[in-house]
Amino acid sequence: MKTYCLTSDKYNWCIGPFLHQWKKYAHNWDITVAGFTKPDIDCDFVSIGKFEDYPVSKWSDALTKLLKMTDDKYVCLFLEDYWLIRPVPALKSPAIFLDDNNAIIRFDLTSDTMCSGYISRIESNDRYDLFERTNKDYCLSLQAGVWNKEFLLDVLIPGETPWQVELNGSTRLSEKGYRVIGTSQWPVMYTIAVNKGMLDKDGKWQWPARTLNRADWKELEQEFGI
């Protein structure tokens, strides 16, 4: 299973802090940065193409191209402003829950499914309490998760922004009968560091509110001048 951090030239400045937090809290988990122009930082990088060929209105086209570039059955997707705020536990691969026969398209690594308020308990094991999301709204959320690549490609269409992918894609996901599951254990916790295009150190707009601790912010300030 390949793990990608999706970015664009506009937000390449996020990659340094993203990887700093990743190496600190998920150092045993390999990740590849996927974007257009390689950030000026040492990282495993794959280019989707030219930045000018993929405006925000073609965000879905870029993601589709990236997915078709990998042979992996499952992919894990992060965005560049998802900066980890605590250690990630040793995970049994969530891909084991994405069984084709169950039509599960996404394993949510965050609190997104639980916070939706529309859930049904489906299973408990020695590590997870699993719940299924039961409503349509934003079930195709781009919060961190493990995806069945074939199913995700099936609900993506050309010419959509990330917000259209989440909104319109959720309807398509539901119509096709795909399922989204998550866990109350919230294995990956991060702050969304960019709000309306600007760095946001407060994090109060998120629910639940969350941000990096003071020591982490100080390290990022010293190393990246943010």
Per-residue model confidence (pLDDT) at position 117: 67
Q: Supply the range of the domain harboring residue 21.
A: 2-224
The DSSP H or E segment spanning 114 is: helix 112-115
Nearest of 25, 22, 3 to residue 14 by alpha carbon: 22
Q: What share of the chain is helix, strand, coil (3-state, %, to 5)?
A: 35, 25, 40
Say which CATH number the domain at 216 has: 3.90.550
For the chain, the domain total comes to 1
Distance CA 130, CA 21 (A): 27
| Model confidence, pTM | 0.94
Give backbone dihedrals phi and psi of 60, rounded to 5 degrees, phi first.
Answer: -65, -35
Residue 118: the pLDDT is 66
Q: Give me the percent of the chain exceeding a pLDDT of 90.
A: 75
**Phi, psi (degrees; rounded to nearest 5) at 50:** -85, 135
Q: What DSSP element (H or E) covers 153?
A: helix 149-155
Tens digit of each residue's pLDDT (9 = 90 or more) over 55-97: 999 999 999 999 999 999 999 999 999 999 999 987 666 777 7
Least Cα distance to 113 among 135, 93, 81, 146 occurs for 135
- Is 90 exceeded by the pLDDT of residue 122? no
Asked if residue 198 has pLDDT above 70, the reply is: yes
Least confident residue range of 1-15, 123-137, 155-169: 123-137
Q: Best-predicted range by mean pLDDT among 4-8, 71-75, 204-208? A: 4-8
Looking at residue 114, what is its pLDDT? 76
Report how far apart, in Å, the C-alpha atoms of 36 and of each of 11, 16, 66, 123 are.
11, 16, 11, 40
The Cα-based distances of 201 to 16, 216, 220 in angstroms read 16, 11, 11
Which amino acid makes up residue 130? L
Section 130-138 average pLDDT? 84
> What is the structure's pLDDT at 100?
67
